[in-house]
Structure 1
Amino acid sequence: MALWLMFANLSAMMTHGFKSSKQDFTFGPWKVTAAKTHIMKSKDIERLGEEMHMPSLPEMLFGDNILRIQHTDGYGIEFNAIDALKRVNNMHDSVKVACAQEWQESRADSEHSKEVVKRYDWTYTTDYRGTLLGEDLQMTATETSERIDMEKLKAREQIMFFDDVLLFEDELHDHGVSMISVKIRVMPTSFFLLLRFFLRVDGVLIRINDTRLYHEAGKNYMIREYSTRESNISELQNVPAALYTDPNEISQHLTLKLTKCEKLELPETGPQPGNTEALQ
């Protein structure tokens, strides 16, 4: 909780808006690239929707926004909106469509309710956890019981680099919000990243899919933790409604549905366990 609030406070100090920007930050053998630019043009969105067989895409789709972590040997991981949307379920019998039907019944008089249940997940729920980079070399994902030491991350340490990149957002025709963004902070001996998908369908449910990524100098792997938290609004009656719009606050009140922990093992040419040099 405190860790996410630290991210939130850092975000508040940044200048938001659609002004294009690109930041590169090099530390040890790694380079972070954070690129932010304007919303995709309508013609490009239409073409992309056809390619993905989705009748509608998020209102604010930042198709050129990326956050990339890349090793000098070429491998790494990237977070972008297009790949996140590719993980949206477009099947009729998905759980997400069932939620849409519940939402439709609760909004029977709404003009939009007649358009909701189509052959795609209108909430844009995605279990995206990043895109592995590299042609000849790539990190490999294996399940693990090792977890990110969150207490260690709470320790005060110099933040050498921070950025917050929005990938897409949609207000669900004024009946909630669906959005995904990624934040990173780099310390002298480690980096920590949080990709968060947040969904609120008014009167129906709140869902948060989090991907946490952590790498420490001297380790030949990253730890990637994925979790899904979700509760129906009816299960949150004892939670102040003012918290529903704040992902940082509401997350602790949601029911944990799924967790998955992985090691992203670096190729043999990457840093070895005996290497204790800092990332800077």
Structure 2
Amino acid sequence: MTSVNIAKTSADNIDINNLPINSEEYKINDWLIKYKKSHILHSQCSTTEKCADSTYPPCPFCMFTNSLQLPHLPEMVFPNNVLSLTHSSGVQIEFNALDALKLVSNGELALKVSYADAWKESRDPSNLMEKIKPFDWTFSTNYSGSFSGPLHIESTEERIDIERLKEREKILFYQELMLFEDELHDNGIASCTVKIRVMPSSFFILLRYFLRVDGVMVRINDTRYFHDFSTQYILKEYTNRESPVQRLHVPLQMFGDPNLIGPHLPISMGSYEKLSWINSVTKDTGPALTT
């Protein structure tokens, strides 16, 4: 089922809450899969008087800035882009921009990102004060999703069968959502995306943070989810890959495509987990889990 909700807006005062939101849901076996997709976040408060009054809910811009307290947000944030999967047991997995950006280091931690000195040396010193911020200006995040419901998480030796994913199987549902993106003052790119594909036998999700700082380094944080519908668990794999540019002896065009450059980046860290649940008949209503 697909629905598009459209409301009339004023050209002088557009409220992002009233902008068109495209949404779709897909039901398969014990899963309800939904996505929402809409416009980017405003660059400033759209309802100043209401946001100054605590009796009103804040606009999306104020909600993001108040929750994150970063010196500034990425150039493009998609507050209404959400992918969620709900199981009949009550387990829910969701992917959204706010939770992803909550894991970006801000000024309170006084942390300097890796390769910052190399980046500074490669820039024009006349305008570095604008480029170097007292927080992780690459918006690096190891966000791997938001969980709730009776979910049990444990380490596992089992791995996602990549060869199985290469097999030709009918795709019943597919969607890709951008959560945020920033061009790092024209010195590279940082982006966070999530995509899902559903087949008759399984579903596969890839949540990816991609960073390229021109002339300095490349980083890819990938979280993969795979669920075979014949099982009562999901395999989750998180990997952090990164490398200085000078160690990557690859064609220049590869640097713009994470699918091409990714295999050339060494794995710095990886974790492998099994997410399981009790079926809907005897489900447990335990505490919510969020990461």
* TM-score bracket for this pair, using the shorter chain length: 0.7 to 0.9
Quote the residue 2:265 is aligned against: 254
Go from structure 1 to structure 2 and tell me whether the alpha carbon gap of 1:172 and 1:271 turns closer, same or farther (over 3 Å shift): farther
Residues 173, 23 of structure 1: alpha-carbon distance in 2 compared, 3 angstrom cutoff:
same
Please name the residue that 1:129 is paired with: 144
Task: Return the index of the structure with the highest Cα Rg.
Answer: 2
Instruction: Name the counterpart of 1:87.
Output: 103
Task: Give 1:22 deviation, angstroms.
Answer: 0.9
What's 1:39 paired with?
40
Structure 1 position 69 matched with structure 2 position 85? yes
Aligned length: 248
Counterpart for residue 182 of structure 2: 170
* Contact 1:218–1:271, Cα closer than 8 Å, also in 2: no
Give the C-alpha shift of residue 103 in structure 1. Answer: 1.3
CA distance in 1 between partners of 2:40 and 2:96 (Å): 13
Query: CA 1:110 to 1:45, structure 2 compared with 1: closer, same or farther past 3 Å?
Result: farther
- Rounded to whole Å, the distance in 2 between the matches of 1:271 and 1:226 is 30
Q: Indicate whether 1:59 and 2:75 are aligned.
A: yes
User: Partners in 2 of 1:107 and 1:19 — Cα distance?
Assistant: 40
Are the structure 2 counterparts of residues 264 and 35 from structure 1 closer, same or farther at C-alpha, using a change threshold of 3 Å?
same
Deviations 1:199-248 (CA, angstroms, capped at 9, x unpaired) = 00011100000000000012111000000110101111x21111101111
1:118 deviates by 3.4
Gaps of 5+ in 2: 1-18, 46-59, 284-291
Deviant stretches of 4+, over 6 Å: none
Change (3 A) 1:115 1:271: farther
Q: 1:106 to 1:130 in 2, by over 3 A?
A: same
Residues 104 and 114 of structure 1 are in contact (CA less than 8 Å); yes or no, is this contact kept in structure 2? no
Which AA in structure 1 matches 2:133? K
Letter in 1 for 2:221: N
* Structure 1 partner of 2:133: 118
Structure 2 counterparts to residues 151-162 of structure 1, below 5 A: 151-162=163-174
Q: Aligned AA for 1:99? A: Y
Distance 1:118 1:107 in 2: 14
More helix by share: 1
Q: TM-score, normalised by structure 1?
A: 0.83
Q: 1:102 to 1:252 in 2, by over 3 A?
A: same
Structure 2 residue corresponding to 1:240, chosen from 241, 251, 265: 251
State the AA in 2 paired with 1:122: W
Superimposed CA distance per residue, residues 71-103 of structure 1 (whole angstroms, 9 cap, x where no aligned partner): 133322000000000111222235x2x423331
1:201/1:110 CA distance change after superposition, 3 Å = farther
Q: Hey, what does 2:231 align to over in structure 1?
A: 219
Residues 68 and 270 of structure 1, relative CA distance in 2, 3 Å threshold: farther
Letter in 2 for 1:35: K
Aligned-partner SS, 1:88: coil
Cα distance in structure 2, aligned partners of 1:45 and 1:39: 10
**TM superposition score normalised by structure 2:** 0.80
Deviation by residue 1:141-180 (Cα, 9 ceiling, x = unmatched): 1111110011111111111000001100000011000001
- Structure 2 CA distance, aligned partners of 1:177 and 1:46? 25
1:139 aligned onto 2:166: no
**Equivalent position of 1:276 in the other structure:** none
Identify the residue that residue 269 of structure 1 maps to in structure 2.
280
Asked if 1 retains the 8 angstrom alpha-carbon contact of 2:89 and 2:279, the reply is no
1:192–1:212 CA contact under 8 A, matched in 2 = yes
Partner SS state of residue 173, structure 1: coil
Q: Which of residues 114, 118, 127 is equivalent to 1:102? A: 118
CA positional deviation for 1:255 = 1.3
Question: Which residue of the partner structure matches residue 182 of structure 1?
Answer: 194
2:12 corresponds to which residue?
none
Query: Structure 1 residues 23 and 47 mapped into 2: Cα distance closer, same or farther (>3 Å)?
Result: closer
User: Is the contact between residue 164 and residue 184 of structure 1 (CA under 8 Å) also seen in structure 2?
Assistant: yes
Q: CA deviation at 1:140?
A: 2.1
How much has 1:31 moved relative to structure 2?
0.9
Whole-angstrom distance in 2 between the partners of 1:166 and 1:271? 36
Contact 1:104 1:116 in 2 (8 A): no
Any conservation in 2 of the 1:161–1:187 contact (CA below 8 Å)? yes
What residue is the counterpart of 1:78 in the other structure?
94
Alpha-carbon distance in 2 for matches of 1:263, 1:51:
30
